[in-house]
Amino acid sequence: MKTAKAQVKMFETIAILVVFFFLLGIGFMFYARIHSASTRAEQREQSVLKAVEIAQIASHLPELEYTFNNDPKGYIDFYKIDGANKTINENTAYYFTLFGNSRITINQTYPEEKSWVIYDLPRGESSFLTPVPTLIYDPVGNRKNLGIIYVRTYLQE
């Protein structure tokens, strides 16, 4: 009789331990899923910040910016676009440190539509597009044209 009671107590203890470890496993899986989701959200936020940083660098690139008496005016020089495109394509290793895996396109939207791809080094499918409005200055015609710099940053997966 005493051994039967001991066996029942031992079975109860084992059952309690099994339930405890089962609940502990469920809690660990729940924690891992929450942690994974927060890590993904943090990575996405970092990617968005990187995209904005690349957009700022691209919009103030000295190779594109119009200057008067060595004073940058905040416009893109219409005639520097082709030269900058050639320079960037010849020095992709240097510009990779600035832009990483991204695509930078300058679109002139008014008075006539034109488009230039300044930098293009895609990677993967997932990307984030940052439009930056700007003025494209034509110093010969003394005209300021409306333009948009599109920076598509490819996200690391």
Q: For 67-116, what is each residue's pLDDT tens digit?
A: 887 778 888 999 999 899 999 999 999 999 999 999 999 999 988 999 99
Mean pLDDT of the chain: 90
pTM, whole model, 2 decimals? 0.75
| pLDDT reported for residue 55 | 85
| pLDDT reported for residue 143 | 93
| pLDDT reported for residue 76 | 93
Closest CA to 127 of 66, 53, 44: 44
pLDDT digits 0-9 by tens, 39-77: 988 988 888 888 889 888 988 899 999 888 777 888 899
Identity of the residue numbered 25: G
Q: How far apart are CA 80 and CA 148, in angstroms?
A: 16
| pLDDT reported for residue 19 | 95
Question: What stretches of the chain show up as alpha helix (H) in DSSP?
Answer: 2-59, 80-90, 92-99
Contacts of 99 (CB under 8 A, 6+ apart): 54, 57, 58, 119, 121
Percentage above 90 pLDDT, the chain: 61
For residue 42, give Cα distances in angstroms to 37, 38, 50, 116, 125.
9, 6, 12, 33, 19
| pLDDT reported for residue 46 | 86
CB–CB of 63/87 below 8 Å? Answer: yes
Q: Is the pLDDT of residue 1 over 80?
A: no
